[in-house]
């Protein structure tokens, strides 16, 4: 991380500049909200592994603390709560088994 000592700020915004191994000219930047820089890095690694076919790893160029997150706008809060409800309902709703009827 940058030269600032990381302190607990509650929820913070971290910027990670990284390169995906095995891809040329693949420099990306991600803004990740987490409690610690370690959580932000792990979250990015998990996301990349789950979403990139044949993922071989990545290299962090820059990891920076951008600031504490003190408040969410109403529209962002509604999106987060709405998505959480959709996910919760998907887990609660049992999937029906397909039953083929013989003719």
Domain spans in the chain, listed from the N-terminal domain onward: 12-92
Give this prediction's pTM.
Answer: 0.69
C-alpha distances in Å from residue 99, one per residue of 4, 92, 93: 61, 21, 18
Question: In this structure, what token pair is assigned to residue 40?
Answer: 């932000």
pLDDT for the residue 60: 95
Task: For domain 12-92, give the fold.
Answer: Ubiquitin-like (UB roll) (3.10.20)
pLDDT for the residue 85: 75
pLDDT for the residue 9: 65
Condensed to tens digits (0 to 9), the pLDDT of residues 42-56 reads: 999 999 999 988 888
Task: Kindly compute the dihedral angle of the four CA atoms of residues 68, 74, 76, 80, in this order, to the nearest 10 degrees.
Answer: 100
3 state SS of 40? helix
- The mean pLDDT values, 10 residues at a time, for the chain of 103 residues are 56 94 86 95 93 89 94 88 75 64 62
What is the spatial order of strands in the sheet that 58-68 belongs to? 27-34, 12-20, 58-68
**End-to-end Cα, the chain, rounded Å:** 66
According to DSSP, the residues that pair with 86 across neighbouring strands are none
Distance CA 103, CA 98 (A): 16
């Amino acid at each position: 991380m940058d030269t600032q000592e990381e302190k607990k700020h509650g929820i913070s915004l971290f910027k990670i500049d990284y390169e995906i191994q095995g891809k040329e000219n693949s420099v990306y930047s991600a803004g990740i909200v987490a409690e610690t820089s370690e959580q932000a890095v792990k979250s990015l690694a998990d996301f990349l592994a789950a979403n990139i076919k044949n993922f071989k790893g990545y290299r962090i160029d820059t990891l920076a603390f951008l600031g504490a997150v003190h408040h969410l706008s109403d529209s962002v809060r509604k999106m987060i709560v709405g998505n959480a409800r959709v996910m919760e309902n998907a887990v609660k709703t049992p999937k029906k088994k397909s039953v083929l009827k013989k003719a």
